[in-house]
Amino acid sequence: MTTHTLKHTAELLATGKTSAVELATAYLAKIEASQPTLNAFITIDRDKTLAMARDADALRAAGHAGALTGVPMVHKDIFCAEGWRTTCGSKMLDNFVSPYDAGVVERCKAAGLVTLGRANMDEFAMGSSNENSAYGPVKNPWDLTAVPGGSSGGSAAVVAARLAPVATATDTGGSIRQPAGFCGVTGLKPTYGIVSRYGMVAYASSLDQGGPIAQTAEDCALMLNVMAGFDERDSTSLDVAKEDYSRDLAKPLAGLRIGLPKEYFGAGLASDVAAAIEAALAEYKKLGAEVVEISLPRTELAIPAYYVIAPAEASSNLSRFDGVRYGHRASEYDDLIDMYEKSRAEGFGWETKRRILTGTYVLSHGYYDAYYLKAQKVRRLLAEDFQKGLAQCDVIAAPVAPTTAWTIGAKGDDPVAMYLEDIYTLGVNLAGLPGIAHPVGFGSNGRPVGMQLIGNYFAEAKLCQAAHQFQLATDWHTRAPQEA
């Protein structure tokens, strides 16, 4: 009962083979048993979950159920949800209970989805390993000594361990695609502005984007149908026509042109990751796709540009956490300034402090033009590279990361080494493009390998179609850790 995809779970509910309460109860038992080992959750509230499940069953009994009514899910702890503790993985918000729902949470509630809990994450979404959470690291279900990726590592681990059919996540520099790749599941990062950022705690406002993590591309398409839509409360939300992202899933891939950026397949890419991706590309060719070589010549500039722009925006966004209205406040202080300083020093973790300081520096007088303004110019050049590349193909194929998941603690003392792991994902966020990551095999250490497909703006349906057709022909997405 607790291993099915989102689509299959919805079918079980629609045919009366199970109920929302039965599903929620079974998943909660599995979650509680796994929590001491995986640490994938920050908050679990059995009473709230079962109340939502009873409401879903009542809707179904009254004939008012939607396609996903009663299906269990998990929210990344970055989305505000009324009555739920929303910590963002930080001591700073440890005692914050949200008085309202984020736009994504509203949409999930309206669809009848049942919240099982709040997924662990890197503090304020800052990290690539989920080791920066104030609540301890999440473990990779495939190998408990490995990281699950970040910052949405909790969401990816939840789906990989079959603790929920689907989870919400966010992607600022790869934080949906990279953990999906590390955990052997599927993650979809939509076009910037497709999913509302209202009530999603901000890290870097021009980069953050919500999306789903699930077992399959089909599930991601179904979930994006729920999550996407214009929200007037979000100034970055795009007012575009509503669409069905699952509409093209059944179409074959004959004639699909897949671009391979030569910059992504050179030095730095681990041989076991490269082998798994080559095998996946061979499968795509069997399905009728054509592979063409393209160039993204400024790829190496993505990391310095991102790590100027994102910290600068974080410095601004996180200035609101001062201990005055909500969040952590120091217990002892002399005056207002001392309260600010001590509250922030105690409330933020080291990686968050590092990025705040970096961002404040690049925005300071005398450095804004030299760093921040120049990074924004580079960002435009990176976006132009993608447009030139996509003019030669329909989608771009790339590794999710240069290696499989690393061992917990292996990069903790070298933040730059961890930043370099984002080389293949950052450009997509800087350009605002959509991307989907799906599993394509395992590395020499037995840890999953993910591949991402990158599309042009609003190409989510095409990306889901391509990944779905691949998954119909392969079984990597069906494999689960032994404990699951």
Annotated catalytic residue 151? yes
pLDDT score, position 119:
98
The conformation of residue 92, written as its DSSP 8-state character, comes to: G
pLDDT score, position 266:
87
Strands 186-189 and 435-442, how do they pair?
Answer: antiparallel
How far is residue 201's CA from residue 193's CA, in Å, rounded to a whole number? Answer: 15
Burial label for 232, CB within 10 Å (0-12, 13-18, 19+), is exposed
How far is residue 215's CA from residue 160's CA, in Å, rounded to a whole number? Answer: 7
pLDDT score, position 443:
97
Which residue ranges form the domains of the chain, and what is each CATH number? 6-256+434-478 (3.90.1300.10)
Which of these is catalytic: 129, 133, 155, 175? 175
pLDDT of 394 strictly over 80 = yes
Assess contact for 453 and 435: CB atoms under 8 A.
Answer: yes
pLDDT score, position 401:
97
Name the one residue in this structure whose structure tokens are 């089909």.
Answer: 218
Cα distance from N-terminal residue to C-terminal residue, the chain:
12
Assess contact for 59 and 65: CB atoms under 8 A.
Answer: yes
Note if the pTM is more than 0.85: yes
Buried b (16+ CB within 10 A) or exposed e, 128-137: bbbbbbbbeb
Burial label for 236, CB within 10 Å (0-12, 13-18, 19+), is middle
User: For the packed helices 302-317 and 374-390, what is the interaxial angle rounded to 10 degrees?
Assistant: 130
In this predicted model, what pLDDT tens digit does every residue of 396-426 receive, in sequence order?
Answer: 999 999 999 999 999 888 888 888 899 999 9
pLDDT score, position 414:
84
How far is residue 331's CA from residue 5's CA, in Å, rounded to a whole number? Answer: 47
In this predicted model, what pLDDT tens digit does every residue of 64-104 receive, in sequence order?
Answer: 999 999 999 999 999 999 999 999 999 999 999 999 999 99
**DSSP strands (E only) in 103-160:** 114-119
In this predicted model, what pLDDT tens digit does every residue of 157-172 receive, in sequence order?
Answer: 999 999 999 999 999 9
In this predicted model, what pLDDT tens digit does every residue of 218-231 receive, in sequence order?
Answer: 999 999 999 999 99
pLDDT score, position 244:
98
How far is residue 232's CA from residue 281's CA, in Å, rounded to a whole number? Answer: 41
Assess contact for 137 and 178: CB atoms under 8 A.
Answer: no
Which of these is catalytic: 19, 30, 34, 76? 76
State the average pLDDT for the chain: 96
Cα–Cα distances in Å, from 144 out to 122, 131, 163, 223?
A: 17, 13, 16, 28
Which of these is catalytic: 34, 98, 151, 246? 151
In this predicted model, what pLDDT tens digit does every residue of 317-371 receive, in sequence order?
Answer: 999 999 998 899 999 999 999 999 999 999 999 999 999 999 999 999 888 989 9
